[in-house]
Amino acid sequence: WGSLGHITTAYLASHFVSNTTEAVFKELLKNDNADYLASVASWADSVRYTKWGRFTKTFHFIDAHDDPPRSCNVDFERDCKETGCVINALANYTEQVVDTAIPDWQRAQAAKFVIHFVGDLHQPLHNEDVALGGNRIHVLWDGRGYNLHHVWDSSIAEKWIGGLHGKPYDLALKWANELAVEITDGKFTTEKETWLKELDYKDPISTAMAWSRECNALVCTHVFPEGPKAIVGQELGGDYFKAAGPVIEKQVARAGYRMGAWLDQIANDYL
Ligand code: DCM
Ligand code: DCM
Ligand code: DCM
Ligand code: ZN
Ligand code: ZN
C-alpha cells in the first residue's frame, strides 16, 4: 500500500489489540502515544531503496506465476524468490520479535517489518507476477496517467475516503475508526471471525499463504476481470472504481484486524 493504507491498517490494529499487547509494543517501539503502531507502518518503504535496506526489496510481495483471469493461485515453492518474499519475510521477522537472544533494537526493527508486511500481504497486486505486479501497465485515473500498481496501492483508497483533504495521519485515523465500527457492529461483524480462522503465529508460512491465496483470488475477479491486456490505457476512476472500492475497504479491514490478532499472539509469548 501507499502510506494511507499502511497507516490505516496500523491504527485499526491498535484499536483491537489487548491492553497487554499495547503495553508490550509501546515499550518495544519506545512510543507511548496512540500512533505507536501507525507511525512505524511505512518505515519499511523508506528503507527499501537505501543501500542498507536493499536486501529487503523483494520482501514486500510474492510474484504469483498464475494466469489471470483464467486461473489465480499462489505456490510458495514456485513463487517466493531466492532473495525472499512477503511470506517468509513475515515469518522471519515475526520469529525475531519474540527472540530473547537478539538485542531489543533489532526486535523493535523486526516489529516494524511485521506491521508493514501484514499490510502489503493484503494488496492484491503484491500477490501477482503479471507486469511486475501491475507496475508496467499504464492506465488512466480520473483522466491522469498512472501505473496499475499505484492505482491499487493508493488511488482507489484515496478516492474511497473522499480524497486527500486533510493531514495523512488524521485521514487514516478517521478511516480506521470507521472500519472499526464496521467490524464491531456493522457490515463485517459476522464475517470477522472467519478472518482469524487460519491465524497462528507459530505457523507463519501457512497463515501468510492462506492470506495470500485469498488476496490473489481478487486479482482474477477485480484487478483483471477481462485479463491484463484489456485494462491497458483504460479509465479506472468510474465503473472499475465502483467494484474495486469495496475490495480495498475489505482488504484494509482484514489487514488491520488480523494485524491486531497477530500482535496479540506475539505479545502473549513476549518476554
Ligand atoms: N515510498 C517511500 N519511500 C521510498 C519509496 C517509496 O516512502 N523511498 C512510499 C511511497 C508510496 C509507497 O512507498 O506511498 C509505495 O509502496 P510500495 O511501492 O511498497 O507499494
Ligand atoms: N507523523 C505525523 N503525525 C503523527 C506521527 C508522525 O505527521 N501523528 C509524521 C512525522 C514524520 C513521519 O510521519 O514526517 C514519520 O514519523 P515518525 O518519525 O514518527 O516515524
Ligand atoms: N512490486 C510488486 N511486485 C513486483 C515488483 C514490485 O508488488 N514484482 C511492488 C513493490 C512496490 C512497487 O511494486 O510496492 C514498486 O516497486 P519497485 O519500486 O521495486 O519498482
Ligand atoms: Zn505496492
Ligand atoms: Zn511495502
215-246 per-position pLDDT tens digit: 999 999 999 999 999 999 999 999 999 999 99
Tell me the average pLDDT of the chain: 98
Distance (Å) from CA 44 to ligand 3 centroid: 13
6-39 per-position pLDDT tens digit: 999 999 999 999 999 999 999 999 999 999 999 9
Report yes or no: 80 and 70 within 8 Å, Cβ to Cβ.
no
Distance (Å) from CA 153 to ligand 1 centroid: 9
User: What gap in Å lies between CA 144 and CA 181, rounded to an integer?
Assistant: 34
- What integer pLDDT is reported at residue 128 of this predicted model? 98
User: What gap in Å lies between CA 108 and CA 133, rounded to an integer?
Assistant: 29
Distance (Å) from CA 126 to ligand 1 centroid: 13
Question: What ligand 1 atom has the least distance to the C-alpha of 42?
Answer: 7
- What integer pLDDT is reported at residue 260 of this predicted model? 98
Question: What ligand 2 atom has the least distance to the C-alpha of 168?
Answer: 7
Report yes or no: 259 and 118 within 8 Å, Cβ to Cβ.
yes
* Pocket flag, ligand 1, residue 79 (CB < 6 Å): no
User: What gap in Å lies between CA 74 and CA 256, rounded to an integer?
Assistant: 22
Distance (Å) from CA 132 to ligand 3 centroid: 6
Based on the residue annotation, tell me whether 1 is a catalytic residue of this protein: yes
- What integer pLDDT is reported at residue 270 of this predicted model? 84
* For residue 271, pLDDT beyond 80: no
* For residue 259, pLDDT beyond 80: yes
* Pocket flag, ligand 2, residue 169 (CB < 6 Å): yes
169-181 per-position pLDDT tens digit: 999 999 999 999 9
- What is the distance of C-alpha 200 from the center of its chain? 17
Interface predicted TM-score (ipTM) of this complex, two decimals: 0.71
Q: How many CA atoms lie within 13 A of 207 on its CB side?
A: 23
* For residue 74, pLDDT beyond 80: yes
* Pocket flag, ligand 1, residue 45 (CB < 6 Å): yes
Question: What ligand 3 atom has the least distance to the C-alpha of 153?
Answer: 14
* Catalytic choice (63, 66, 129, 153): 153
Confidence of residue 189 (pLDDT cuts 50, 70, 90): very high
Confidence of residue 63 (pLDDT cuts 50, 70, 90): very high
* For residue 61, pLDDT beyond 80: yes
Which residues keep their CB under 5 angstroms from ion ligand 5? 45, 60, 120
- What integer pLDDT is reported at residue 134 of this predicted model? 98
Is pTM, for the whole model, over 0.95?
Answer: no
Based on the residue annotation, tell me whether 48 is a catalytic residue of this protein: yes
135-171 per-position pLDDT tens digit: 999 999 999 999 999 999 999 999 999 999 999 999 9
Based on the residue annotation, tell me whether 149 is a catalytic residue of this protein: yes
The residue behind cell 507511525 is 39
User: What gap in Å lies between CA 72 and CA 81, rounded to an integer?
Assistant: 18
Identify the residues whose C-beta falls under 6 Å from ligand 3.
60-61, 63, 125-126, 132-133, 135, 149
Three-state DSSP class for residue 104: helix
- What integer pLDDT is reported at residue 212 of this predicted model? 98
- What integer pLDDT is reported at residue 225 of this predicted model? 98
